């Protein structure tokens, strides 16, 4: 587990590389906004070497985040992409189209048309009443899995066009590995008997682990993918109106205690997240600078390209789901995910036509 001093020292080296383009779906609040702030701080004295797309629903909050980041890093460029509901695949498609359009029309520093970092932090409120989107997906599972995979797939041409390997970071269930029985693989929507925070976590972590491994293999040398458990991080989401009253009351009571014994500060959380974009998390087969200690992948390979890490970017150092891994496990997850997204795309096209 790297120390915070090491993490901050490593991210301070990012501006030594080429100009950076980042997209942050969910960064109008919470962890996404902390990532934006750390990026701004890191590039504060490096002119116009940073362009960031803030993707989210709340334009007022986005303006506040962008204004704060511009004060920290006046030379950096910040853009807002409005999104109504990122549980909808159609809305993800629209946001991706807008990012691609803007990058194509005005490549950062003259090109190539690219995206270096994709951080996904948005999530349906975990204690809110269960909801199914008009496209037929569970809103909770969509925001932590299906719509995030859609972001990746849509933006792959830009992520793999970067001079250096693109980095994808999904914030939610990294390093979690719930028990899975052979023959009962958690693929798709959890049954009603399992549905809830734990059930969605179990299914998301399993599917994302294998799908990330497949993408790391397909785009070896060009794409690094990490999912991370952020820990308990202070933020406005705990007091959101989407949370039950009992939870908000309980949180107000417990927060002063948790802050001192377990909670991660916004600054430290943002630093850990940006650390995932350093050469310590390389694409599979990527050459790394001498002396750089690379992370261990979910297949227990140094620098394997697909990583599942804890709140301090710590790797479990073991093969994930070793008891149920079979030759066809990746294919089962991949085929299910792609078919789900393709079916929704076809249905949306039929409605539009």
Q: Give 212-232 pLDDT, tens digit per residue.
A: 999 999 999 999 999 999 988
Q: Residues, the chain, total?
A: 353
- The structural architecture, per CATH, of the domain 4-238+264-352 is 3-Layer(aba) Sandwich (3.40)
CA distances 128 to 117, 123, 125, 185, Å, are 30, 11, 5, 26
The string of DSSP codes covering 165-199 is -EEEEEES-TT------TT----SSPPTTT-SHHH
Would you kindly state where each structural domain of the chain is located, as residue ranges? 4-238+264-352
Lookup: tokens for 252: 């107000």
Q: Give 136-170 pLDDT, tens digit per residue.
A: 999 999 999 999 999 999 999 999 998 899 999 99
For the CA atoms of 292, 296, 299, 304, the dihedral, rounded to the nearest 10 degrees, stands at: -20
The H-or-E segment that residue 79 falls in is strand 77-82
Confidence of residue 5 (pLDDT cuts 50, 70, 90): very high
pLDDT given at position 204? 98
pLDDT given at position 114? 96
Lookup: tokens for 21: 């383009």
Mean pLDDT computed over every residue of the chain: 94
> How many CB atoms lie under 10 A from the CB of residue 229?
18
Lookup: tokens for 153: 């797939």
């Amino acid at each position: 587990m790297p120390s915070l001093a090491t993490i901050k020292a490593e991210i301070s080296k990012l501006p030594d590389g080429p100009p950076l383009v980042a997209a942050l779906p969910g960064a109008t609040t919470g962890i996404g906004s902390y990532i934006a702030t750390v990026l701004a701080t890191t590039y504060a004295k490096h002119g116009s070497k940073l362009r960031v797309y803030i993707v989210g629903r709340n334009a007022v909050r986005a303006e506040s985040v962008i204004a704060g980041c511009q004060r920290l890093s006046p030379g950096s460029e910040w853009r807002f992409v409005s999104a109504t509901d990122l549980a909808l695949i159609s809305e993800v498609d629209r946001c991706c189209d807008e990012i691609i359009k803007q990058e194509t029309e005005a490549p950062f520093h003259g090109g190539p048309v690219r995206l270096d970092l994709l951080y996904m932090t948005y999530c349906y409120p975990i204690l809110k009443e269960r909801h199914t989107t008009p496209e037929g997906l569970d809103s909770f599972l969509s925001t932590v899995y299906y719509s995030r995979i859609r972001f990746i797939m849509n933006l792959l041409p830009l992520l793999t066009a970067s001079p250096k390997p693109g980095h994808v970071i999904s914030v939610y269930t990294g390093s979690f590995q719930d028990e899975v029985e052979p023959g009962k693989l958690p693929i798709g929507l959890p049954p009603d008997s399992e549905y809830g925070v734990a059930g969605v976590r179990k299914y998301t972590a399993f599917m994302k682990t294998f799908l990330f491994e497949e993408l790391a293999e397909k785009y070896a040398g060009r794409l690094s993918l990490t999912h991370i458990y952020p820990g308990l991080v202070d933020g406005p989401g705990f007091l959101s109106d989407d949370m039950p009253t009992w939870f908000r009351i309980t949180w107000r009571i417990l927060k002063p205690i948790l802050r001192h014994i377990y909670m991660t500060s916004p600054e430290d959380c943002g630093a850990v997240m940006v650390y995932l974009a350093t050469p310590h998390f390389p694409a599979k087969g990527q050459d790394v600078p001498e002396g750089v200690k690379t992370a261990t992948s979910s297949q227990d390979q140094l620098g394997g390209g697909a990583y599942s890490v804890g709140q301090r970017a710590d790797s479990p150092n073991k093969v994930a789901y070793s008891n149920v891994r079979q030759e066809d496990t990746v294919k089962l997850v991949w085929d299910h995910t792609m078919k789900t997204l393709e079916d929704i795309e076809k249905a949306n096209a039929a409605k539009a036509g």
